[in-house]
Amino acid sequence: MSVLVTGRRAVPRKYIPVLVTACLFVAMFVAGGVRYDSFATGQIVLNVFIDNAFLLVVAVGMTFVILTGGIDLSVGAVVALSTMISASLVTDQGWPPAAVIPLVLAIGAALGWAMGCIIHYFEIQPFIVTLAGMFLARGLCYTIGTDSISITDETYTALAQARVDLPGGMSVSPSVVIALVVVLVAAYVLHYTRLGRNVYATGGSEQSALLMGLPVARTKIAVYTISGFCSALGGVLLSLYMLSGYGLHAVGMELDAIAAVVIGGTLLTGGSGYLFGTVLGVLVLGLIQTIISFEGTLSSWWTKIFIGLLLLVFILLQRLISVRRRT
C-alpha cells in the first residue's frame, strides 16, 4: 500500500485527500475566528449543518454513485420535484404529511431505479441518462405549477420551527438530526455490508468485479436508487427549510453535491472515498458561504469562484495520488 511518511507514522495515501479537507476546514474556521467577532463558536458550525442539511443528504447519495465510477446529474431536479409534489399535495390537495412524505420518497427511489436500469442494461453513459432524468424531473415540476407554492401545514411549520437543544445553549433543527442519521446508516452500509463492498469493487474495476462473480448489475441499480431516494429526502428537508415548493428550487445543486463529494476526497473515477470526507466537503462549502456573508462586501458569486478553485486543487491532488500509486 502506498504511504506518506510523516514523522514516525506512515499515512496511507488514500487518506490524504480527507486529511487535507479536514485541515482546510480547521484553517478556514480559525481564520474566520481571527477576522470576525462571534465567528469561532460551536453554533456557527451547527448553523452550517442547519443551512446545508438537505445538501448533505443529497451528497450522501451522490457518494454512492461516484464510488461506482458513475455520476448523477438529476439530483437537483429531483429535489425540486419533491418540493413541488409535497407542496401541491399538502397545500392544494389537503393530504396529510404522513402520506405525502413516503410517496415522495418512493417516487425519488423509483426514478433512480429506472435510471440505474437504463444505464446498466442499455449500456448508456450515466451522464446522458441522468441528464435526461434531470430534464424529465424539472419538466414535471412545471406540469404541477410554474409558481412557488407556499406550505402552511401545521406539521411542516412545526418541524421547520422546532429546535433540538444541545449543551452550551446551542441547538440544531430536526433536519440536521435526520441528515446525520442518513450519514451514519450510509457509512454502515458502505463499510460493513456486502453492498458496500460491492460498491467499492465495482468502482475499482467493473470488469474485475464481473470476473469475481459480484452482482454488478444489482449494485449499479442499487446506488442510483439510493441516490434517487436521498434526493427525494433532500427535497423533503428543503421544503421544511423553505416552507415552499418551486420548480426553480435546487438549480445547480447537483454540481454542489459533486463538488462536496470530490472535495471530500472521493475519486471521480470511483473505488476510493469515505462518507466522512463528504461531510467535511459539505462543511467546507457551507463555511465558505458563511465567511462571505460575514465579510459583507463580497458578492455571493464569490462562493462559486472559491468552490471552483477548490475543485481544481482537489482534482489535481487526486491525479497526483493516482500517478504515484502506479509508480
Residue 48: its pLDDT value, please? Answer: 95
Q: How far apart are the first and last CA of the chain?
A: 12
Residue 314: its pLDDT value, please? Answer: 84
CB 61 within 8 A of CB 75: yes
Q: d(Cα 306, Cα 288) in Å, to the nearest integer? A: 8
User: Taking Cα atoms as reference points, which of 231, 235, 179 lies closest to residue 50?
Assistant: 179
132-150 per-position pLDDT tens digit: 999 999 999 999 999 999 9
Give the start-to-end residue ranges of the domains of the chain: 51-251+269-274
Residue 324: its pLDDT value, please? Answer: 62
CB atoms near residue 205 (< 10 Å): 14
CB atoms near residue 324 (< 10 Å): 12
Instruction: Spell out, as residue ranges, where the chain has pLDDT lower than 70.
Output: 1-11, 321-327
CB 228 within 8 A of CB 77: no
Residue 326: its pLDDT value, please? Answer: 58
CB 255 within 8 A of CB 97: no
84-135 per-position pLDDT tens digit: 999 999 998 999 999 999 999 999 999 999 999 999 999 999 999 999 999 9
CB atoms near residue 273 (< 10 Å): 27
Residue 253: its pLDDT value, please? Answer: 95
Grid-cell match 471552483, residue found? 308
Element (H, E) at 164: strand 164-166
Residue 1: its pLDDT value, please? Answer: 46
